[in-house]
Amino acid sequence: MKDLANKKGISHSKLKNNPRYLALQAIIQIFDGAAYSNLLLGQIIQQATLNDKDRRLFTEIVYGTVSRKLTLSYLIKDRIENQSKLDDWVRYLLMLSVYQLKYLDRLPAHAVLNDAVEIAKNHGNQGIGKLVNGVLRTLLREGFPDIEKIAKPIERLSIQYSLPKALIKTLIAQYGEERATEIFASLLEKSKSSIRVNTAKTSVEEVIEDLNDVGIEVKKSLISPVGLVSDKGFLAGNNYFKFGYFTIQDESSQLVAPILAANPDDVILDACAAPGGKTTHIATYLNEGRITALDLYDHKLKLIVENAKRLGVMDKIETRQLDAAQVHQHFPPNYFDKILVDAPCSGLGLMRRKPDIRYNKRIDDFASLQQLQLSILNSCSQVLKKSGIMVYSTCTIVEMENQAVIEKFLATHQDFEMVELTHHSKIISNGQLVLTPELYQTDGFFICKLRRKA
CB atoms under 10 Å from CB of 33, counted, come to 8
Q: What is the pLDDT of residue 2?
A: 34
CB 347 within 8 A of CB 365: no
User: In terms of Cα–Cα distance, which of 189, 234, 196, 231 is closest to 55?
Assistant: 234
Q: Is the peptide bond before 275 cis (omega within 30 degrees of 0)?
A: yes
Q: Please give the CATH topology (third level) of the domain spanning 252-452.
A: Rossmann fold (3.40.50)
272 φ/ψ angles, rounded to the nearest 5 degrees? -135, 75
- Of 272, 345, 380, 395, catalytic: 395
Specify the DSSP element, H or E, that contains 428. Answer: strand 428-429
CA–CA separation, 27 and 438 (whole Å): 26
Q: What is the pLDDT of residue 425?
A: 76
What's the CATH number for 193-248?
Answer: 3.30.70.1170
Q: What is the pLDDT of residue 12?
A: 56
CB atoms under 10 Å from CB of 326, counted, come to 13
CA–CA separation, 293 and 397 (whole Å): 25
Specify the DSSP element, H or E, that contains 269. Answer: strand 267-270
Per CATH, is 12-145 categorized as 1.10.940.10?
yes
Q: What is the pLDDT of residue 8?
A: 43
Q: What is the pLDDT of residue 5?
A: 38
Q: What is the pLDDT of residues 407-453, one digit of tens each?
A: 999 999 999 999 999 877 789 999 999 999 999 999 999 999 999 99
Low-confidence residues in the chain, pLDDT < 70: 1-14, 233
Q: Quick one: how far is CA 51 from the chain centroid? A: 25
Concatenated DSSP letters for 370-404? HHHHHHHHHHHHTTEEEEEEEEEEES---GGGTHH
Asked about 395 being catalytic, the answer comes back as yes
Boundaries of every domain in the chain: 12-145, 148-186, 193-248, 252-452
In this structure, is the dihedral angle defined by the CA atoms of residues 441, 308, 261 and 451, taken in order, positive or negative? positive
Q: What is the pLDDT of residue 233?
A: 64
Position 339: which residue type?
I
Q: What is the pTM of this model?
A: 0.92
In this structure, is the dihedral angle defined by the CA atoms of residues 73, 78, 81 and 83, taken in order, positive or negative? positive
Q: What is the pLDDT of residues 76-96, one digit of tens each?
A: 998 887 777 889 999 999 999
